[in-house]
Amino acid sequence: MRPVLITGSSSGIGRACALDLDRAGFSVFAGVRRPSDADALRAEASPNLKPVILDVTDAESVRQAADFIGDSVGPAGLCGVVNNAGISVACVLEYLPLEQLRRQFEVNVFGVLTVTQSMLPLLRSARGRVVNISSLSGLTAGPYVGPYAASKHALEAISDSLRLELRGFGIDVAVIEPADIDTPIWEKSQRMADTLRDEVLESIGDRIPQEVQDVYRNDIVSMRQATERFAASAIPVHRVVRAVNHALTSRRPKTRYRVGAKTWGVAHVLRRLPDRLRDHVVLRSLGMR
């Protein structure tokens, strides 16, 4: 069996990948943060799926996971790491608490590199693969999602460097770039944005001039409405799962998997436009002026 580690397997893309690869005959190490999530996965999977308590922001947790996986796979090594764990912070950059930006990068960037560094000795043994789950926001940055977009842009850069640095070991690095996917991240992101908004308003609301509040408030209303539209038309998660499977098993994996028409449109059309025209297109798509 081909052993593979998937981080962030509690829900969404990670959970779908863990269960699909388990059905496909992989030996899956499914990274989760809570024992209850581990139990839920075991209830749906075969005995070949092994939940692993893993917090990608905790170096000791990552080390313990690497030791457990190393003892399990032995000298054969690890065939793949799917870096899926991630969060989404949305906020007006002018009033974004910097600890929230640091948290965004701790999970989406530093966590990815911490896990990859820890697993590379096992990947070298098997000439395994690294698959990083990026996003449409890794290609372009819209308003009010600057922290998330910045983290995914950083992930794209790290993936490019890793691909070049690991070529001598026969380790391929692939990036998955999904458009809007039908997963619980929409609800989680909305809850996080609402909580962050309330915290910001509580701490500095009386220091924000009314005219500034009005401009941001109108934009945020439009952003919420656009998010609801995007969620309603999100593509099924199995399309991302299929791309991950190909990246892990193909003799010639792609360096990038652009999943969804919107990602292709951004990659091949939107990014080629002059900045001002691109800004106009993005704002129109969000219902903003």
Q: Which of 95, 144, 148, 216 is catalytic?
A: 148
Which run of H or E residues covers position 217? Answer: helix 210-232
Residue with tokens 């870096």: 83
Going through 76-181 in order, the beta strands assigned E by DSSP cover 80-83, 129-133, 172-178
User: Which three-class secondary structure state does DSSP give residue 96?
Assistant: coil
CB count in 10 Å sphere of residue 14: 26
8-to-124, 125, 279 alpha-carbon distances in Å: 23, 24, 33
Interatomic CA distance for residues 187 and 143, integer angstroms: 19
Map tokens 């109108």 to a residue.
Answer: 218
Catalytic annotation on 148?
yes
Reading the block at residue 50, the tokens are: 């092994």
Q: How many Cβ atoms sit within 10 Å of the Cβ of residue 228? A: 11
- Active centre residues (catalytic): 148
